[in-house]
Amino acid sequence: MPDQSMGSGRFLDSGIAALDRALRAVLAPAQTSRPLPVPDAEPTGPLSEGDRRTSAALMRVNHAGELAAQALYHGQALVARSASTRAMLLASARSESDHLAWCEMRLRELATRPSLLNPFWYVGSFLIGAAAATLGDRASLGFVAETERQVEGHLDEHLERLPAGDTRSRAILEAMRAEEIAHGAAAAAAGGVRPPAPVCALMRRTARIMTGSAYWI
């Protein structure tokens, strides 16, 4: 007969670890294991005030997006059915932590703050990730692949909108874009099944609400 106390203990341990990751992501300064990406060429001069405000708003959106990505992975990892899927999700979350730290450092350089709504982005994204994972690992990995596909499009849009002189933010977004593509490809290769079209459309709509709000708040 299975030892139910052992199962309950493992779930409690996982829940405590998830809470710890959440508190660190939302309240603690982001930590990176890698240096900030540097541009191929240094900027020719300081940004104008208008360009600084544009870059600051775009990087605030990207910071919020990276926090939400961490939350998605954390929620999915909590409910993942296999150890290999859980390990893949947590490894991707660690990469997103680097992205979060890069965005946070760039926000400081641009003399601005992260989104005031970050706790809401984290909680909402965590719940969405956990809900996706209840459908099974293949559905969860497919959700990752679709999320990263949409993030790639979002980063392409931001690279077009960045002021030409902001080479520092551009280097960060280009490095992030390459790694998001790799995350999505790995999830698809691991057996991820793409969500139905209505779910993909809802994901895009939800992302637009978050990015539109984080741009200003």
For the stretch 133-170, pLDDT in tens is 888 889 888 888 888 888 898 899 999 999 988 999 99
Distance (Å, whole) CA 41 – CA 10? 50
For the stretch 177-205, pLDDT in tens is 998 898 889 888 888 888 878 878 877 88
Distance of CA 86 to CAs 28, 100, 198, Å? 23, 21, 26
DSSP symbol at 28: S
For the stretch 27-57, pLDDT in tens is 456 677 788 888 876 766 788 999 999 999 9
User: Tell me, what's the pLDDT at 211?
Assistant: 78
Tell me the domain boundaries of the chain.
Answer: 47-216
Q: Which residue has the tokens 């601005």?
A: 112
pLDDT at 86 exceeding the cut of 70: yes
pTM here is 0.82
> Burial, 97: exposed, middle or buried (Cβ in 10 Å; 0-12, 13-18, 19+)?
buried
For 16, half-sphere exposure in the C-beta direction (CA atoms, 13 angstrom radius) is 6
**What dotted CATH number matches 47-216?**
1.20.1260.10
